[in-house]
Amino acid sequence: MLAPFAATLKDGQSVMLRGIAPDDAESLRLFHEGLSERTVYLRFFAPHPHLSESDLEYFTHVDQRSRVALVAVVDDVIVGVGRYDLIDEHTAEVAFVVTDAMQGKGVAGLLLSRLARIARDHGVGEFTAEVLATNTGMIETFRHSGFAVAECREDGVLTVTFPLEVEAAATATERAPHPDAAPAPGCPGGPEGSCPPR
- Residue 167 has a pLDDT of 54
Is 62 within a domain?
Answer: yes
Is 167 within a domain?
Answer: no
Is 31 within a domain?
Answer: yes
Is 17 within a domain?
Answer: yes
* Nearest alpha carbon to residue 132 among 160, 168, 161: 160
Q: 9 lies in which domain range? A: 5-126
Is 97 within a domain?
Answer: yes
The pairing of strands 157-163 and 126-132 is antiparallel
Is 194 within a domain?
Answer: no
- Residue 166 has a pLDDT of 60
Per-residue pLDDT of the chain (198 residues; tens, 9 = 90+): 789 999 999 999 999 999 999 999 999 999 999 999 999 999 999 999 899 999 999 999 999 999 999 999 999 999 999 999 999 999 999 999 999 999 999 999 999 999 999 999 999 999 999 999 999 999 999 999 999 999 999 999 999 999 998 654 343 333 333 333 344 434 443 444 446 555
CATH at 64 = 3.40.630.30
Is 151 within a domain?
Answer: no
Cα separation of 160 and 151, whole Å? 5
Q: Starting from the edge strand earliest in sequence, which strands make up the sheet with 14-19, in order?
A: 5-8, 14-19, 67-74, 77-86, 91-98, 126-132, 157-163, 150-154
Is 93 within a domain?
Answer: yes
Q: Please say whether the beta carbons of 107 and 98 come within 8 A.
A: yes
Whole-prediction pTM:
0.84
- Residue 191 has a pLDDT of 42
Q: What radius of gyration, in Å, describes the C-alpha atoms of the chain?
A: 16
- Residue 162 has a pLDDT of 97
Question: How many structural domains does the chain have?
Answer: 1
